[in-house]
């Protein structure tokens, strides 16, 4: 995938979707015993955009929040991370979505969503800035947004069509959420998104869900099956087992870096951010995979969906020979 030329007036990346307020239990144990909660924000699209921004790209996020303190929190936090949120809109009649993370054990995290009838679920095509999408070098969407509502689904495909009509490459991360819609409803929609994408990311289970039986099985077969649906590049994310990509008919493998995982939530978005930053820099697929696995490794070493995402000058910190103390 070649990102659109740098002469465009818009950002390197334009994305849209739901970013929620996030409350997290800072200690291990049932949430009911917590006496304090950490306050942050989280959303797949904005997580990836923050990752790109920290790596030196420009990024714009569009979405809807409620006219409430949580909505103001979302916009302030994204703006503080350098994202352009000028095209975001405030809904006076619907609340901002909420996510709660509970560290039930030292090695497991439970995530609960309160997003039914949220402001983001009322997203529709008219809320998108077509000039922003058409002027970006790359447009990124996920399979979460079309799951929010019929109007959000319409907006997702409208945004993708605007990008395609303008010659802007489209990246899609399937990001299936069983709590939002059943697999038999999601499958056809996600297949349609894959067919319109230049680059697609999927977990193994997500790839299995959208592929015919003959394309299922080994990760390399999954990546090839996704690529045959239309994208020039298809990447299957395998978490601590690395990733497999099919790029112009070639199968590429990448190992994950061995790190001590503190919080796995957001690792997939970090991986996407690294891969897209590589693509924007003109890296070949192997270079994109190396950067993706590196950024993903950084993300899991810190609590939070995006807080551990690295700045470009920090990338060498995970090298095998890196000094553990930087003075």
User: Which sequence positions are flagged as catalytic?
Assistant: 269
Distance CA 87, CA 203 (A): 30
- By the 8 A CB rule, do 146 and 177 touch? no
Cα–Cα distance for residue pair 317/146, rounded to 1 Å: 37
C-alpha span between 296 and 252 (Å, rounded)? 18
Q: What are the tokens at 199? A: 């680059």
State in Å, rounded, how far the first CA of the chain is from the last one.
39
Tokens, residue 72: 């103001």
Cα dihedral: 161, 166, 169, 174 (round 10)? -20
Strands (E), the chain: 13-16, 20-24, 38-42, 59-62, 64-66, 89-91, 98-105, 108-114, 138-142, 170-173, 199-203, 233-237, 243-247, 250-254
Handedness of CA 72, 88, 177, 155 (dihedral sign): positive
Closest CA to 242 of 191, 210, 286: 286
- CA pair distance 276, 12, nearest whole angstrom: 10
b/e sequence 144-162, b meaning 16+ C-beta within 10 Å = bbbbbbeebbebbbbbbeb
Task: Output the CA torsion sign for 219, 222, 228, 229.
Answer: negative
What is the pairing mode between strands 98-105 and 89-91?
unpaired
């Amino acid at each position: 995938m070649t990102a659109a030329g740098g002469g465009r007036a818009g950002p390197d990346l334009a994305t849209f979707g739901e970013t929620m307020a996030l409350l997290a239990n800072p200690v291990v144990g049932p949430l009911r015993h917590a006496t304090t909660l950490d306050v942050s924000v989280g959303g797949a699209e904005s997580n990836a955009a923050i990752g790109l921004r920290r790596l030196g790209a420009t990024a714009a996020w569009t979405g809807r929040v409620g006219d409430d303190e949580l909505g103001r929190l979302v916009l302030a936090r994204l703006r503080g991370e350098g994202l352009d949120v000028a095209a975001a809109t405030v809904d006076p009649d619907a609340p901002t979505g909420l996510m709660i993370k509970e560290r039930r054990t030292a090695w497991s995290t439970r995530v609960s969503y309160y997003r039914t009838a949220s402001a983001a679920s009322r997203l529709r095509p008219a809320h998108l800035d077509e000039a922003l999408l058409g002027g970006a070098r790359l447009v990124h969407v996920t399979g979460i947004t079309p799951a929010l509502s019929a109007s959000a689904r319409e907006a997702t495909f409208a945004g993708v069509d605007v990008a395609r009509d303008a010659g802007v490459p489209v990246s899609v991360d399937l990001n299936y959420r069983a709590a939002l819609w059943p697999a038999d409803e999601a499958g056809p929609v996600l297949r349609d998104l894959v067919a319109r994408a230049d680059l697609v990311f999927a977990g193994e289970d997500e790839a299995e869900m959208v592929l015919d039986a003959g394309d299922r099985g080994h990760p390399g077969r999954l990546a090839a099956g996704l690529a045959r649906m239309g994208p020039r590049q298809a990447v299957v994310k395998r978490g601590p087992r690395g990733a497999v990509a099919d790029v112009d008919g070639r199968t590429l493998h990448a190992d994950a870096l061995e790190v001590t995982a503190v919080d796995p939530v957001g690792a997939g978005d970090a991986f996407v951010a690294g891969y897209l930053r590589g693509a924007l820099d003109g890296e070949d697929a192997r270079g994109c995979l190396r950067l993706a696995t590196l950024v993903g490794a950084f993300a899991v070493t810190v609590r939070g969906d995006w807080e551990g995402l690295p700045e470009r000058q920090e990338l060498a910190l995970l090298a095998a020979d890196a000094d553990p103390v930087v003075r």
